[in-house]
Amino acid sequence: MAPSKKKAAAKKPLGQKAKKPTKGGTAGPRRIAYHERLGLSKDQAYFLGITAALVFAVAVYFAFSSAHQIPAAPPAIEAPQQEVGTVLTVVDDPSCTFCNKFIKPVESQIMEAAFSGLSIRQVSASSKEGKLLISSLGIKALPAYVFNSHVAAEENYSVFKPFLHKANGSYLLDEKTIRGVAVRYFSPPPTGGEPSLGAPDAAVTIIVFSDPACKACKVFGLKTLPFLESAYNSTVRVVFKALPLSPSTLNASIAMECAAGQGKFWEYAHAGYESGIGNLTRLADEAGLNTTEFNACLSSQKYKDKVMHNRVEAFNYGVSGVPTLFINGIKIVGVPTDAAIRQIIGSELAR
């Protein structure tokens, strides 16, 4: 019997759809998707996968934290309160008791300048904030007076503006404008090549800017200098810098340098304190100088440049009058009393 042309339809697996025959051949086997095996829709399978991943992540976190103690987060640092109004920060040197006695008078003068609502705070130069202010603002001497930026909005700012130096958003009161007030310079005026009394390695160095015709300088030379020599001969060194404040004393200052060139500075200076500076050659003779050499030095103006450099140096250190002393960098205007000198030198020797 001839076979029937109809073939029995092949059985297909459950859930599998028959593929259309490809051109020139029959349909290949179809791979069953995972969610179909579980009887889930695609959306259900996606949700289940995400949930499983989250559960796994949480399990790993707790397993790790139980084995390793995770340190607690540090407490939040509160932001500093923003300054309101004009604030004056006084950077002081606690070790300079003579300097600090002048802080209150300066503060009073500033407050009297009608800076409305001025707040004043003090900061030690040795503190972290003090060191930062010194380095960032280029502070040269202590105590230093630093205003915040609000000072520029003050009604009387234009009066103070010439005396303020702006740096890094702050306003620094120029130390050269604080007249008659003791301040300590970090780097005192240089002393190389200047006439001096005392050991070069003395614990205390006193630099004196003096004009030959100055009456107060005469008091220093005849009274204070002998006191220093007798009381602090081995511990104090005195360095002299001629500073003519007028053209009329320029020659007399050069004459003092000519005397120093012959190693007779102090003898010549003493003669000038005693007799005045009317006749420079006569003073040279009284001091035991070679007058011929002295007159040649004076005529050639040999030391004029040096004396003029002293004037520039004095200006840079705020010297506005004579005598001005720098005791280990502490600037004193005028002739201090013996008691004041003892106090300053004592505190310096105790440092």
State pLDDT tens for residues 64-74.
Answer: 444 444 445 44
Answer whether residue 38 shows pLDDT above 80. no
Helix 250-261 and helix 291-299: axis angle, to 10°?
130
Closest to 141 (Cα-Cα) out of 94, 186, 197: 186
pLDDT given for residue 61 in this prediction: 43
Are the C-beta atoms of residues 316 and 326 closer than 8 Å to each other?
A: no
CA angle 284, 288, 289 (to 5 degrees): 55
pLDDT given for residue 171 in this prediction: 94
Q: Which residue, chain included where needed, has tokens 């829709």?
A: 41
Q: How far apart are CA 238 and CA 134, in angstroms?
A: 29
Among 50-54, 189-193, 242-246, 287-291, which stretch is predicted with the lowest mean pLDDT?
50-54
Please give the radius of gyration of the chain, using alpha carbons only, rounded to the nearest integer: 44
Answer whether residue 181 shows pLDDT above 80. no
For 187-350, CATH number out of 3.30.365.10, 3.40.50.300, 3.40.50.200, 3.40.30.10 equals: 3.40.30.10
Question: How much is the mean pLDDT over the chain?
Answer: 80
CB atoms within 10 A of CB 214: 19
Are the C-beta atoms of residues 214 and 290 closer than 8 Å to each other?
A: no
Classify domain 87-179 at the CATH topology level. Glutaredoxin (3.40.30)
208, exposed or middle or buried, with CB in 10 Å at 0-12, 13-18, 19+? Answer: buried
Q: Provide CATH 3.40.30.10 ranges for the chain.
A: 187-350
